[in-house]
Amino acid sequence: MDLLGLGLEASVLTGACHLRRCRVDAEDLVTVALGVREEHGRLVALWGSDERDRENCFHLHLAFEDAQGLLVLDLPLAEEMPSYPDLSEIFPAATRMQRAAYDLFGFWAIGPDQRFWVRHAAWPDTEFPLRRDFDGSRQWPAEPEEYPFVRVAGEGVHEIPVGPVHAGIIEPGHFRFQVVGEKVLRLEQRLGYVHKGIEKRFEELPAHSAHRLAGRISGDTTVAWAWAWAMAYEQAAEIQPPVRALWLRGVLLELERVANHLGDLGYLGNDGGFAFGLAQFSRLKEVVLRANQAAFGHRLLMDRIIPGGVSTDLTPAARATLREFLPGLAAELGELRTIFDDHAGLQDRFMSTGRVTPELAASLGLSGLAGRASGQARDLRVDYPATPYDRVEVRRCGGVAGDVAARVALRFDEIFESLRLLHRFLGELPEGEWRTEAPPPPAGAHGFGWVEAWRGPVFLALEAGPDGGLRRVHAHDPSWENWPVLEHAVMGNIVPDFPLINKSFNLSYSGQDL
């Protein structure tokens, strides 16, 4: 995006994932957004901050991915009427982010959808939890709330409500299906039931210990979130972790990717009526989790990445053990892929089910593994590689079919590529220190983290506060933009295929209910 051509000046932040920052007004915001769309870029995140104690106004912040990397815009909003142009016509993914910005800050997007998103009547519609004068200790009586779902009318149309409480231990989400017979005409989601107040909690923590909260934003993505936090913290504090630590972070991230993809393949086999797949992939995932425990002291690798490096080094013996088990895992994975590909029943369930065309994926901003299966060939490890990914040639995985079969195939491809990367990282792991001191960033310093997690790119922005604290932290999971695409993927399919389609995306509830 050519900001100079628009008369805008951007500051370039070195060491922060090819990032530029620029302050804009409402007119400039729309112009830049249109320009990003013309370059086939996308909206990454939208969030707010309360600056009334410094500038007598609020700020709306937006992160875009354009041809040059990450572009962050800051738009001041009036204190009395904090409104801004609706961006949902340019980027449909903005809709729910804008609704959340109203619930949490009272920022009003001048657009058609003014329904609440995360509030769930937990606080009055005149209170906004992320404003600085909000009293978090107050409690309000719960009030019944009738959410205005969109309904389809017509002969033979009926509604199937599912959730928000589900069988088993999955997180809560409400789904309204409008169907004729078993054919789905429309699906609408209602999420936000596990809103945890994480962003408010960050403001109460000292910066030096907040990495533990960052690593718990979403338990299945703890490595990626910890790395995004460390990246943002280190950029704000102007420190550089040791090279060995960066390589170890690559090992941790790929182990997390492998474990999650293995688990998903098992669940997808089970949802397709093939329990053998669940048993075998669950066994292989357990092998990886035990290897994590043996090498790094934690099955899920939680709290292994910290600002300044990593909390645990890899011993020569553990390194050798990890390298030795990779070929066997690859061999077993190859056999299981052949079984999946040759199983007529599975392929009948997978192929053409839950299809998202490349055109629809591009218009709705589908990202991550689901996006790559629908022709959206974005991968931060390839496009904007941080160390150690800049030292190896990461092979971009993807497809264009956009159905369950394509998302299954992509998981196989990405596991094989992760195993190849792990072999390289472990074989070429540099010697040296694995941790350096990480003092708190100075007050007012900003940092940004952007990491390709197994589900898709996670984004984190922080501003340091006085006395080693945090003034503002925003975390954005790719599920934000991908949940609405799932609504489209289900249309035209039958109701019994929804669990299969849903699992093929495997989006996070709690990761976007912060």
Per-residue pLDDT of 487-498, as tens digits, reads 999 999 999 999
514: confidence class by pLDDT, cuts 50, 70, 90:
confident
Q: Quick count: other Cβ atoms within 10 Å of Cβ 387? A: 13
**Average pLDDT, rounded, for the chain:** 94
494 DSSP 8-state letter: B
Q: Are 450 and 459 in contact (CB under 8 A)?
A: yes
Q: Which two tokens stand for residue 38?
A: 């013309």
The C-alpha angle with vertex 371 and arms to 366 and 375, in degrees rounded to 5, equals: 115
Question: What is the pLDDT at residue 138?
Answer: 86
Average pLDDT over residues 319-339: 96
Tens of pLDDT, residue by residue over 225-262, are 999 999 999 999 999 999 999 999 999 999 999 999 99
Task: Specify the CATH number for 4-110; select among 3.30.460.80, 3.40.50.2020, 3.90.1820.10, 3.90.1170.40.
Answer: 3.30.460.80
Task: Report pLDDT for 171.
Answer: 83
**Is residue 58 predicted with pLDDT exceeding 60?**
yes
307 pLDDT band, cuts 50/70/90, is very high
pLDDT at residue number 13: 65
Q: What is the pLDDT of residue 140?
A: 87
What is residue 458's DSSP assignment?
Answer: E
Contact 375, 402 (CB under 8 A): yes
Quick one: pLDDT band at residue 5, thresholds 50, 70, 90? low
Residue 510 has what pLDDT? Answer: 82
Give residue-wise pLDDT tens across range 25-52. 999 999 999 999 999 999 999 999 999 9
Give the pLDDT score at 15.
52
pLDDT value at residue 7: 67
110 pLDDT higher than 90: no
pLDDT at 78: 96
Whether 196 and 418 have beta carbons less than 8 Å apart is answered as: no
Q: Is the model's pLDDT at 67 over the cut of 90?
A: no
Judge whether 489 and 354 are in contact, CB under 8 Å.
Answer: yes
Residue 146's pLDDT is 84
Task: Tell me what pLDDT residue 494 has.
Answer: 96
Which segments of the chain belong to CATH 1.10.645.10? Answer: 198-512
Instruction: Check pLDDT > 60 for residue 14.
Output: no
Mean pLDDT score, 315-329: 95
Q: Residue 505 has what pLDDT?
A: 97
Of residues 313 and 12, more confidence is placed in 313
Q: What is the pLDDT of residue 390?
A: 95
Tokens read off for 169: 């231990």
Looking at 138-152, 416-430, 497-511, which range is the least confident one? Answer: 138-152
Sorting pLDDT into bands at 50, 70 and 90, what band is 194?
A: confident
Res 379 pLDDT > 80: yes
Global confidence as pTM: 0.96
Asked if residue 17 has pLDDT above 60, the reply is: no
Residue 145: pLDDT over 90? no
Percent of the chain with pLDDT over 90: 84
Instruction: Check pLDDT > 70 for residue 427.
Output: yes
Mean pLDDT of 12-21: 70
Q: Please give the pLDDT value at position 450.
A: 96
Model confidence at 221, in pLDDT bands (50, 70, 90)?
A: very high
Collapse the DSSP code of 467 into the 3-class scheme (helix H, G, I; strand E, B; otherwise coil) and give the result. Answer: helix
Q: What is the pLDDT of residue 4?
A: 65
Question: CB within 8 A of 236, min separation 6: which ones?
Answer: 441, 445, 446, 447, 462, 463, 464
Sign (positive/negative) of CA torsion 78, 82, 87, 89? negative
Peptide bond into 164 cis (omega under 30): yes
Average pLDDT over every residue of 169-183: 90
CB 261 within 8 A of CB 411: yes
- Provide mean pLDDT across the span 385-406: 96
- Long-range pairs, 366-369, Cβ under 8 A, ≥24: 366/481, 366/482, 366/485, 367/42, 367/456, 367/457, 367/478, 367/481, 367/482, 368/453, 368/455, 368/456, 368/457, 368/478, 368/482, 369/407, 369/410, 369/411, 369/414, 369/454, 369/455, 369/456
Q: What does the alpha-carbon distance between residue 72 and residue 304 come to, in Å, rounded to a whole number?
A: 29
The pLDDT value recorded for residue 10 is 67
How much is the average pLDDT of 307-330?
A: 96
Q: Does residue 512 register a pLDDT over 90?
A: no
- CATH 3.30.460.80, the chain: domain bounds: 4-110
Going by pLDDT thresholds of 50, 70 and 90, the confidence category of residue 142 is: confident
Residues 100, 458: Cα–Cα separation, whole Å? 18
Distance of alpha carbon 190 from alpha carbon 365, whole angstroms: 20
Query: What integer pLDDT is reported at residue 153 of this predicted model?
Result: 85
CATH class of 198-512: mainly alpha
What size, in residues, is the chain?
Answer: 514
What integer is the mean pLDDT of 394-415? 97
Sheet holding 11-13, edge to edge: 11-13, 19-23, 69-78, 57-66, 42-50
Q: How far is CA 399 from CA 44, 66, 244, 361, 365, in A?
A: 22, 22, 34, 12, 16
The model's confidence at residue 500, banded by pLDDT at 50, 70 and 90, is very high
> Can you read off the two tokens belonging to residue 125?
């519609």
pLDDT at residue number 275: 95
